[in-house]
């Protein structure tokens, strides 16, 4: 801890607090190694990273964020909370410009301290801020960076399982950083996973029905909901309960049929083993997203709406994978994407690192 000067508290969470700090003595080889120190031993975990995505090493006076995870008396007997361990492990395996960087990890005064990149705000605060105008270029830039991160995670066989605007941080240059990997899991070995993951508003229908075998489509659904929220400036599917969430999905996307979801139980049938919580919320034709955006006077391009519709698809098997989304025609023009990033930087020009907004 003596290698960092703690400057100010910028946020608080369920398991601890977040502080802005200045690096006094940079850790050894921080770009490619995460060092986890305990009272008994220390070990290094190699980071698998593409050379094009490796950041410049942390140097003296680098401003960073310290996330202190409190260890209760019960945790001293049972160990650190498993979500914190999962986040440390996952961030140690991922190194991408659009994923929050874990510089190092150590223990200090009965707390586990994570040294992370410092960001100035998050996408949720941007969406809720009426003084910020989000143009189509801004939304395209956000989605491009988000999908690049998701493509990288899925190519590493990792599901995030909690993508939402609050977990998309933004640095002073307008670069999106995916964070909060407490629910992340590896996938692809036909193992069973819990359906009780992903915040309800961004949870796909198959998880609401209790599916325990799924893949990257669940993250793509969440990205589609974030996409819609960036356009509407309000949550797309804000259910109050699981039943209400299912009904809102039916109302917005239409009730599933044998054509849109093969092998789905019919109304009145008993739930299957694959979908133990299946319930039929009624017959709804669905509401075209374009109509919702026009009614709310939110501009949106037809190509962008087509992409969002393909991401928020009822049948998870036919949802586009991350690599297909990134290659969609909406993202094809590289010059346009560069212009998006330049335009985005103007939005955050006043958000300097020494003026970090508190994280609620």
Q: Are residues 77 and 204 in the same domain?
A: no
Query: Is the sign of the CA dihedral 248, 254, 258, 259 positive or negative?
Result: negative
What is the predicted pLDDT for the residue at 31?
47
333-347 tens-digit pLDDT:
534 444 444 344 434
Task: Verify that 161 and 32 share a domain, yes or no.
Answer: no
| pLDDT per residue as tens, the chain (360 positions) | 778 888 898 887 666 788 999 998 887 755 444 443 333 333 333 333 333 334 556 788 888 999 988 776 665 566 677 788 888 899 988 989 999 999 888 888 878 899 999 999 999 999 999 999 888 888 988 998 999 999 899 989 999 999 999 999 998 888 999 999 989 998 877 778 889 999 999 999 989 999 888 888 899 999 999 999 999 999 999 999 999 999 999 999 988 887 778 777 777 776 777 788 888 777 888 899 989 988 888 888 777 888 888 888 876 554 555 445 555 555 555 344 444 443 444 344 344 444 444 443
302 and 333: one domain? Answer: yes
Q: 282: which residues sit within 8 A by CB, 6+ positions away?
A: 247, 250, 255
- 324 and 263 in a single domain? The answer is yes
Q: Measure the N-to-C terminal CA separation of the chain; round to a whole number of Å.
A: 25
Torsion angle defined by CA atoms of residues 269, 275, 277 and 281, in that order, rounded to the nearest 10 degrees: -60
Whether 275 contacts 246, CB under 8 Å = no
Both 90 and 183 in a single domain? no
Is residue 230 a contact partner of residue 344, using CB atoms and an 8 Å limit?
no
Residue 357, in any domain of the structure: no
- Among the listed residues 116, 93, 102, 105, the one whose alpha carbon sits nearest the alpha carbon of residue 47: 93
Q: Which of 100, 118, 136 finishes a domain? A: 118
If DSSP states are collapsed to H, E and C, what string results for 162-229? CCCHHHEEECCCCCEEECCCCCCEECCCCCCCCCCCCCHHHCCHHHHCCCCCCCCHHHHHHHHHHHHH
Claim to verify: residue 89 and residue 218 sit in the same structural domain: no
Domain end call among 74, 102, 118: 118
53 and 142 co-located in one domain: no
Give the bridge partners for 22, in sequence order: 5, 63
**Contact (Cβ atoms closer than 8 angstroms) between residue 211 and residue 274:** yes
Taking CA atoms, 353 is separated from 13, 49, 65, 80, 290, in Å, by 21, 26, 11, 31, 38
pLDDT digits (tens, 9 = 90+) for 287-333: 999 899 888 888 887 778 888 888 888 765 545 554 455 555 555 55
Query: Is 196 a domain residue?
Result: yes
Q: Is residue 353 part of a domain?
A: no
Select which of 81, 122, 162, 180 is catalytic. 162
Residue 360 lies in a domain: no
Looking at residue 73, what is its pLDDT? Answer: 64
> In this structure, what CATH number is given to the domain that contains residue 8?
3.30.200.20
User: Among this protein's residues, is 162 annotated catalytic?
Assistant: yes
What is the per-residue pLDDT for 124?
95
**What mean pLDDT value characterizes the chain?**
78
Q: What is the CATH number of the domain that holds 128?
A: 1.10.510.10
Domain boundary pick from 118, 150, 175: 118
d(CA 333, CA 104): 37
Cα(41)–Cα(238) distance, integer angstroms: 46
Please enumerate in sequence order all residues whose Cβ is within 8 A of that of 192, keeping only pairs 6 or more positions apart, or say none. Answer: 212, 213
Q: What local confidence, expressed as pLDDT, does residue 332 receive? A: 55
Same domain? 206 vs 340: yes
* Per-residue pLDDT tens digits for 54-65: 455 678 888 899
Q: Are residues 15 and 43 in the same domain?
A: yes
Residues 151, 298: one domain?
yes
* Same domain, residue pair 77 and 59: yes
Q: Which two tokens stand for residue 197?
A: 């993951």
pLDDT per position as a tens digit, 25-57: 887 755 444 443 333 333 333 333 333 334 556
- Its domain, for residue 263, covers 122-347
Query: Long-range contact list for 262-270, CB < 8 A, 24+ apart?
Result: 262/315
**Angle 62-67-68 (CA atoms, 0-180°, nearest 5)?**
130
Taking the C-alpha atoms of residue 61 and residue 180, their distance in angstroms, rounded to an integer, is 25
Asked, for residue 356, whether it belongs to a domain, the answer is no
- Helix pair angle (334-347, 136-155), 10° resolution: 110
The answer as to whether 220 is a domain residue is: yes
Same domain, 54 and 179: no
> Number of structural domains, the chain?
2
Q: Per the domain annotation, does 102 fall within a domain?
A: yes
The sign one gets for the Cα dihedral 10, 16, 22, 26 is negative
User: Which residue intervals of the chain are DSSP H helices?
Assistant: 73-78, 82-93, 123-128, 136-155, 205-208, 217-232, 242-253, 289-295, 302-311, 322-326, 334-347
Q: Looking at the domain assignment, is residue 278 inside a domain?
A: yes
Determine the 3-state secondary structure of 5 from DSSP.
strand
């Amino acid at each position: 801890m003596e290698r960092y000067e703690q400057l100010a508290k910028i946020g608080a969470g369920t398991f601890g607090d977040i502080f802005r700090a200045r690096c006094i003595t940079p850790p050894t080889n921080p770009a490619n190694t995460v060092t986890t120190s305990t009272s008994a031993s220390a070990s290094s975990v190699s980071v698998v990273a593409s050379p094009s995505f490796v950041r410049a090493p942390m140097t003296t006076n680098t401003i960073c964020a310290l996330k202190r995870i409190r260890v209760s008396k019960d945790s001293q007997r049972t160990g650190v909370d498993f979500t914190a361990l999962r986040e440390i492990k996952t961030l140690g395996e991922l190194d991408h410009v659009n994923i929050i960087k874990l510089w190092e990890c150590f223990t200090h005064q009965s707390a586990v301290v994570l040294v992370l990149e410092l960001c100035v705000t998050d996408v949720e605060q941007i969406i809720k801020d009426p003084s910020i105008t989000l143009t189509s270029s801004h939304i395209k830039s956000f989605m491009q960076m988000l999908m690049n991160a998701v493509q990288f995670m899925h190519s590493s066989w990792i599901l995030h399982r909690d993508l939402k605007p609050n977990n998309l941080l933004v640095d002073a240059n307008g670069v999106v950083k995916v964070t909060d990997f407490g629910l992340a899991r590896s996938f692809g070995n036909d193992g069973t996973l819990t359906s009780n993951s992903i915040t309800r508003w961004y949870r796909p229908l198959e998880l609401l029905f209790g599916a325990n075998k799924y893949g990257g489509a669940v993250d793509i659904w969440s990205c589609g909901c974030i996409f819609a929220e960036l356009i509407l400036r309000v949550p797309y599917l804000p259910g109050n309960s699981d039943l209400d969430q299912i009904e809102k999905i039916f109302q917005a996307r239409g009730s599933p049929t044998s054509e849109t979801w093969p092998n789905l139980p019919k109304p009145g049938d008993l739930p299957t083993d694959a979908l133990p919580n299946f319930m039929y919320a009624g017959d709804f034709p669905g509401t075209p997203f374009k109509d919702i955006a026009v009614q709310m006077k939110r501009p949106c391009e037809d190509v962008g709406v087509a992409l969002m519709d393909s991401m928020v698809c009822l049948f998870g098997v036919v949802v586009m994978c991350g690599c297909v989304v990134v290659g969609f025609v909406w993202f094809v023009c590289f010059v346009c994407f560069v212009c998006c990033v330049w335009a985005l930087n103007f939005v955050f020009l006043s958000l300097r690192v020494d003026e970090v907004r508190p994280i609620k």
